[in-house]
Structure 1
Amino acid sequence: MANIAKRDDGHWRARYRDARGKEHARHFARKVDAQAWLNSVTVSIQSGAYVDPKMGRETVAEYIRTWLERQVQLKPSTKARYTGIVRVHIIPRFGAVPLAKIERSHLSSWVAELSASGLASATVRHIHKIMHSVLQSATMDGRIARNPASGVKLPRERGRDKRFLSHEQVAALADAADEDRLIILVLAYCGLRFGELAALRVRNVDPLRRRLSIEESATEVDGVMIFGTPKSHQQRRVPIPRSLVENLARACEGKQSDDLVFTAPRGGVIFLRNWRRRVFDPAVGAAELGALSPHELRHTAASLAVAAGANVKAVQRMLGH
């Protein structure tokens, strides 16, 4: 039911009842404006796009807390990154803003400011992706009629050239790593992610079949190491080069089945940031390899495997893609 009535003060009162029987009303100086508003509401109700105006009064900060709690599909490390992005980039700008008040122009300006601040294009795109997910959820929950983050122009991704080491460079880096020589070789020839290497247990090493079973990954979350499934939640088996079989078998000697193959100097799981500062970065410097990250050893593993004759599908299986 909807109607328009003239008030004693000369203004026009347009009102309607939603599907739940709740009355909504607005006042206009001109009858034509009241009718236009009522027509737009009627169309949205008939098309199924109607949203109760009061639903959009919830602020972004209030809604986003609930949204984060519902992301049960995320691994702890991913959820921690999302939480950090929300805290640093989204809440300061939009936390106090009601969901219904956010417009595409606001988000476009925000994205432009993020880009101008010096953040990488990929980072800006990732921050926008999270905001888009939040607002898409609000749309599906009936808080807002549409997602204002859709259609926002994003900075182009600038592809970064991947770095691949040669056999000679891998050998130089491994020699410079001293006691952690085997870690470098496993990363460079087996293509493991560092978290997968840190979580590798004795039972995962099969010297006879020359296979590693990648079942877990260790990730640091707020200073605590969390063990979970590998990225994409897929377990896989990775071939061990013949040159590493004996060394890996020796690394497992005297250990129980559930013991970690590689540990920190004082025992326990290896934290990437500590290992990089203590071992990797000094070794890179000693081998005169320039700027290099541990993840580029994974790129190296793929490159060396292809150069040795492995087909693309086999390399993808090795990497867990």
Structure 2
Amino acid sequence: MARVVDLWHKKDRSRSARYGEGKRWRAVWTEGDSEKVKHFDAKGSAEDHLTWVRHHQRSGTYIDAELGRVFVRDLMDDWVATLVHYKASTLDTVKSDVSATILPYWGGTVLADITKADVQRWVTGMDKAARTVETIHGRLLGFLEWCVGEGRLGKNPAKGVNLPEGKKRQHRFLTVAQVAAIADTIDSRYKGMVWVLATTGIRMGEACELRAGDLDERRRRITISRAVVKTVIGTPKNRKTRTVPVTPTAMAYLAVAAEGKGGDDLLFTTARGQQIRANNFKRRDFDGAVKKINDAAAARKAKDGLAGVMIPAGLWVHDLRHTAASWAVQAGASVKSVQRMLGHATAAMTLDVYAGLFDQDLDDVAVRMEAILNPPKLAVPD
């Protein structure tokens, strides 16, 4: 039963041995099979605390303070073990963020001592790109929310923290001449992959996992059912298998790549026949080809004033995916068709990413609507 005990006086009101030492009032209450205590200077404060305890025990929102007196590092593995709904590649990234960024800072902190101000200082002092800060903060947010659900915290101190605003990178859309320059300059073993990326819009990780059995040469289709992120092979980003149309030009390169291979053999590999690693490919081959093209263009311009084909600075391999989307829209593809080709979860997502590409559709709507409102008058023959 909950009660308040005077530690300075006995029941007969005579002074106890503790008179004048420490806090005078002790709040006592029962939690499960054990008795909990907390000390206060004023009797009213002790009574208020018991009222608070009784209220939260009845409503099921009571948090045992002792459960929060544990180091963050002692709970992190238990939280990670609950992420069974994550893809293997995503889980691998979470573990990397936890070990490299979260535990070095928070590992030795007592969970119950973390305040919103603490999290804000951590976020503000993180010397990383805005999007990376947002991602890593999300990991801590998820961990602390799990702690709330486990009854170790009353509220999540990472909620409502101000995150840095980064400048959103603009998509780069290449011309046919620019893609052709990259394909003709890069190592010949990757020429076909460049054209496949630029015309199908598949992700680099999906291209690295393309196998001979994924081709349907008769229907000019490829099946995308796997992707590799770093070294982890799993399902595509939205977990769904999709079939992507392939242009005759790209299919010709794929057919050559598939010659003499079994269904499980990779179509595109390194010079040693190993699976391509996206980061290595960009650094060693893609960036090198772009630099060679731009250096040659600069040399021509210095010699005769004609630069020729130039590639935008800071180009990503992923920009070939954006290029494929832009070419599909130019060819008259609908939002739904582009969504299916790219493997977006919804058409709304496609519009969010590529709204600007569909501006011409809006212009066409306005022209057709005007034709309805003011139809052209036919000349009456004499």
Partner residue in 2 for 1:314: 337
Partner residue in 2 for 1:243: 249
1:156 aligns to 2:168 (yes or no):
no
Structure 2 distance, partners of 1:92, 1:148, is 19
1:188 aligns to 2:198 (yes or no):
yes
Name segments (4+ residues, structure 1) moved above 4 Å. none
More RCO (CA 8 Å, sep 6+): 1
Partner residue in 2 for 1:297: 320
Q: How does 1:1-321 map to 2 (within 5 A)?
A: 1-8=1-8, 9-10=18-19, 11-18=24-31, 20-114=32-126, 117=127, 119-179=128-188, 180-220=190-230, 225-288=231-294, 289=311, 290-321=313-344
State the number of aligned residues. 313
Structure 1 distance, partners of 2:3, 2:213, is 75
TM-score where L is the length of structure 2: 0.79
The higher radius of gyration belongs to: 2
Structure 1 distance, partners of 2:232, 2:124, is 35
Instruction: Report the alpha carbon displacement of residue 36 of structure 1 after superposing the two structures with TM.
Output: 2.0
CA contact (8 A) 2:89 2:233 kept: no
Deviations 1:71-97 (A, max 9, x none): 122223222221221122211221111
Structure 2 distance, partners of 1:219, 1:244, is 24
Structure 2 distance, partners of 1:276, 1:169, is 17
SS in 1 for 2:238: helix
Shifted more, 161-170 versus 74-83: the winner is 74-83
Instruction: Report the alpha carbon displacement of residue 148 of structure 1 after superposing the two structures with TM.
Output: 1.3
SS in 2 for 1:232: coil
Structure 1: which amino acid aligns with 2:260? G
Structure 1: runs of 5 or more not aligned: none
Structure 2 distance, partners of 1:40, 1:93, is 33
Structure 2: which amino acid aligns with 1:105? A
SS in 1 for 2:198: helix
Instruction: Report the alpha carbon displacement of residue 156 of structure 1 after superposing the two structures with TM.
Output: 2.7
Structure 2 distance, partners of 1:23, 1:80, is 43
Deviations 1:222-270 (A, max 9, x none): xxx3321111211100000122222221221111111111111111211
Structure 2: which amino acid aligns with 1:298? R
Structure 1: which amino acid aligns with 2:275? V
Structure 2: which amino acid aligns with 1:159? K
Instruction: Report the alpha carbon displacement of residue 157 of structure 1 after superposing the two structures with TM.
Output: 4.4
Structure 2: runs of 5 or more not aligned: 9-17, 295-310, 345-382
TM-score where L is the length of structure 1: 0.93
Structure 2 distance, partners of 1:26, 1:253, is 77
Give percent identity, aligned residues only.
40
Structure 1: which amino acid aligns with 2:51? N
Instruction: Report the alpha carbon displacement of residue 2 of structure 1 after superposing the two structures with TM.
Output: 0.7
SS in 2 for 1:317: helix
Structure 2 distance, partners of 1:52, 1:274, is 50
Structure 2: which amino acid aligns with 1:34? A
Structure 2: which amino acid aligns with 1:196? E
Structure 2 distance, partners of 1:208, 1:267, is 27
Structure 2 distance, partners of 1:94, 1:218, is 31
Deviations 1:73-122 (A, max 9, x none): 222322222122112221122111121111111111211112xx2x2211
Structure 2 distance, partners of 1:155, 1:275, is 31
CA contact (8 A) 2:201 2:320 kept: yes
